[in-house]
Structure 1
Amino acid sequence: MIDEIQKNIENYDTIIILRHQNPDPDAIGSQTALKTLIHEAYPQKKVYVTGIDLPVLDWIGKMDNVSPETYKDSLVIAVDTANTERIDNAGEYKTADKIIKIDHHPNVDPFGDINWVRDDFSSCAEMIFTLSQEIPTFKLTKECAYSLYSGIVGDTNRFLYGETSYRTLSIAAQLAKTGINVSEIGLHEDEISTQVARLEAYILDNLKITDSGFGYIVIRKDTLDRFNLDDGEIDNVVPLIGRINNVNNWIVVSEKDLNRFRVNLRSKNVSINGVAEEFGGGGHPLASGAYVGSMDQVKALIKAMDSLNKPNGN
């Protein structure tokens, strides 16, 4: 599979690297690291990363402006993206000559002409590191290592999540060996704005926890607007609820637009991606997401999540 990826990278003069909507450090870190690897190995090629710019993650890397015409006859590589609905692109990618999918989520939608999917990896950044070691023309630079370490730290929540393995820690050590400032990256990932701090206080004050150990908060649009968050900052509050010792699984529901709710689902042990898929989303067994279109659906999702902790789902 990796040989096939290498051959296609060598065969195309224009390569565009995409990722999912509402990007996180793993998505942007994987994008920018892969761009660096390809550009260093093949400086004559035109290599782009694209998607909305997210100021809170500019410290990892910024996106390029790519015209719709650029996609024609190009190679598109989609990283860290489980299905076509989540691709952060208006659809221009469909005119590409070939699509490669590199992802660590369950392969529910093998949308690529080539699909390299390994859901036993903690992050897509781990997979890009593997490419850097197995494609002879790739060289792991300090710039590349910075992006990859950021992605791994982001998707493992600083090595707290269960997907963290010996391989994860071994790769992190090899990245640190390049001389990157791991403390700087850790501080970036841990840092929050005043607005987010105030939102966390609101969540702790209004959080509901059921007898089964399910925690949830629903933040309506008028409330959310009061906090004046930057794009992407809502994601910073999601791990907060999991720090409470009697919470087993939890959701943060935020109303993005009138009756359009984004739901972040998390769990410490019980698998929750089945619930996410039931409501049109998906993800990992312990970390998933979905969008729903009404408060009735939100209430149904809350009931489904609560029932996961009860014997026989009752």
Structure 2
Amino acid sequence: MIDDILKKIAQYKTIVIIRHQNPDPDAIGSQAGLRAILQQVYPQKNIYITGIDLPVLDWISPMEKISDSTFQDALVIAVDTANERRIDNDGAYKKAAEIIKIDHHPNVDPFGDINWVDDTFSSCAEMIFSFTEKIPNFQLNKEIAAPLYAGIIGDTVRFLNGETSYRTLMTSAKLAKTGIDISKISLQEDEMSLQVAHLEAYILNHLKITDSGFGYIIIRKDTLENFQLDDGEIDHVVPLIGRINKVNNWIVVSEKNLNRFRVNLRSKCIPINGIAEQYGGGGHPLASGAYVDSIDKVKDLIADMDKLNKHAE
């Protein structure tokens, strides 16, 4: 599959690498890492990474502003994006001549002309690294390694989750061998603002845990605004609940816009992506997300998550 993708890349002068909305380190790291790989192989090509900038992740790589016309006759590569509706773009990408999808989520929406989807990988960044092993005389360097390493430790939560494998650790070791500062990258991903620290305190004080071991918190719009978070910062608090030993699975519900609720679903062992899909979302078996448009649907989702635990028992 990588050989087929590289042959397709060779045919285009302009390549635009896109990803999903509400990007995480894996999405941005995959974009930046893939661009650096392709720039080394094809220095004459125009290669862009684009999407909404998140100040909290600019240390991995800032995004580029490009005109809609740039997509015309270009090759678009969508990384770390399970379904087309989650693409972080206003639709201009549809002007592209062809689309390649590279993703490690379950393949619920094969929207690309070429779809390389493999959910046995810990992260999309781990998949992107595979390109470096298929290119003759390729020189892995810090510029490539740093964003890919950030993506891997981001999606594995610094090697804590179940998708971490021998291959993940071997890939990470090869990236670390370039001399990147792995401690600095880990500290940057773990660092939080004072506002996020206050939000974590709020969550611990207001968290509800059912008898089945399901934990949940609903943060309404007026409460969320009090914390004055930057875009993307709420994602820092999602793993917090999972550190509680009585919690088996959990959700963080945040209402950024009135009656528009973002739901982050997580689990230690029971697959929860099926419930995310029931509510129009999706993701990994142990880490998924969805948007719902009413508090009643949020309550339904909470009930379904609690039942999931009871059935597992």
TM superposition score normalised by structure 2 = 0.99
Quick check: 1:41–1:137 contact (8 Å CA) kept in 2?
A: no
SS in 2 for 1:266: strand
Quick check: 1:2–1:135 contact (8 Å CA) kept in 2?
A: no
Please give the alpha-carbon distance, in whole angstroms, between the structure 2 residues aligned to 1:135 and 1:89.
Answer: 30
Please give the alpha-carbon distance, in whole angstroms, between the structure 1 residues aligned to 2:256 and 2:78.
Answer: 25
SS in 1 for 2:173: helix
* Pair 1:219–1:85, CA change in 2 (3 A): same
How do 1:144-159 and structure 2 match up within 5 A? 144-159=144-159
Offset, 1:312: 6.9
1:165 aligns with 2:153: no
Aligned residues between the structures: 313
User: 1:37 is matched with which residue?
Assistant: 37
User: 1:258 is matched with which residue?
Assistant: 258
Deviations 1:89-144 (A, max 9, x none): 00000010000000000000000000000100000000000111113364322110
Offset, 1:40: 1.2
User: 1:61 is matched with which residue?
Assistant: 61
* Pair 1:46–1:137, CA change in 2 (3 A): farther
User: 1:270 is matched with which residue?
Assistant: 270
1:230 aligns with 2:230: yes
Please give the alpha-carbon distance, in whole angstroms, between the structure 2 residues aligned to 1:103 and 1:14.
Answer: 21
Please give the alpha-carbon distance, in whole angstroms, between the structure 2 residues aligned to 1:138 and 1:241.
Answer: 42
Letter in 2 for 1:227: F
Offset, 1:212: 0.2
Please give the alpha-carbon distance, in whole angstroms, between the structure 2 residues aligned to 1:312 and 1:206.
Answer: 26
Please give the alpha-carbon distance, in whole angstroms, between the structure 1 residues aligned to 2:282 and 2:177.
Answer: 35
User: 2:206 is matched with which residue?
Assistant: 206
User: 1:76 is matched with which residue?
Assistant: 76
Offset, 1:311: 2.9
How do 1:100-111 and structure 2 match up within 5 A? 100-111=100-111
Please give the alpha-carbon distance, in whole angstroms, between the structure 2 residues aligned to 1:11 and 1:145.
Answer: 26
Please give the alpha-carbon distance, in whole angstroms, between the structure 2 residues aligned to 1:257 and 1:137.
Answer: 50
SS in 1 for 2:217: strand
Q: What is the RMSD computed on CA atoms of the aligned residues?
A: 0.9
User: 1:311 is matched with which residue?
Assistant: 311
1:91 aligns with 2:98: no
Quick check: 1:37–1:139 contact (8 Å CA) kept in 2?
A: no
Please give the alpha-carbon distance, in whole angstroms, between the structure 1 residues aligned to 2:180 and 2:156.
Answer: 19
User: 2:141 is matched with which residue?
Assistant: 141
Quick check: 2:270–2:312 contact (8 Å CA) kept in 1?
A: no
SS in 1 for 2:215: strand
Please give the alpha-carbon distance, in whole angstroms, between the structure 2 residues aligned to 1:203 and 1:95.
Answer: 43
SS in 1 for 2:133: helix
Quick check: 1:38–1:138 contact (8 Å CA) kept in 2?
A: no
Please give the alpha-carbon distance, in whole angstroms, between the structure 2 residues aligned to 1:86 and 1:282.
Answer: 10
Could you tell me which runs of 5 or more consecutive residues in structure 2 were left unpaired when the two chains were aligned.
none
Please give the alpha-carbon distance, in whole angstroms, between the structure 1 residues aligned to 2:139 and 2:294.
Answer: 49
SS in 2 for 1:158: coil
Letter in 2 for 1:196: V
User: 1:125 is matched with which residue?
Assistant: 125
SS in 1 for 2:106: coil
Please give the alpha-carbon distance, in whole angstroms, between the structure 2 residues aligned to 1:312 and 1:230.
Answer: 37
* Pair 1:89–1:138, CA change in 2 (3 A): farther
User: 1:112 is matched with which residue?
Assistant: 112
Quick check: 1:122–1:164 contact (8 Å CA) kept in 2?
A: yes
TM superposition score normalised by structure 1 = 0.98
Letter in 1 for 2:190: D
Please give the alpha-carbon distance, in whole angstroms, between the structure 2 residues aligned to 1:283 and 1:198.
Answer: 28
Could you tell me which runs of 5 or more consecutive residues in structure 1 were left unpaired when the two chains were aligned.
none
SS in 2 for 1:298: helix
Identity level (%): 71
Quick check: 1:102–1:115 contact (8 Å CA) kept in 2?
A: yes
SS in 1 for 2:59: coil
Please give the alpha-carbon distance, in whole angstroms, between the structure 1 residues aligned to 2:128 and 2:105.
Answer: 14
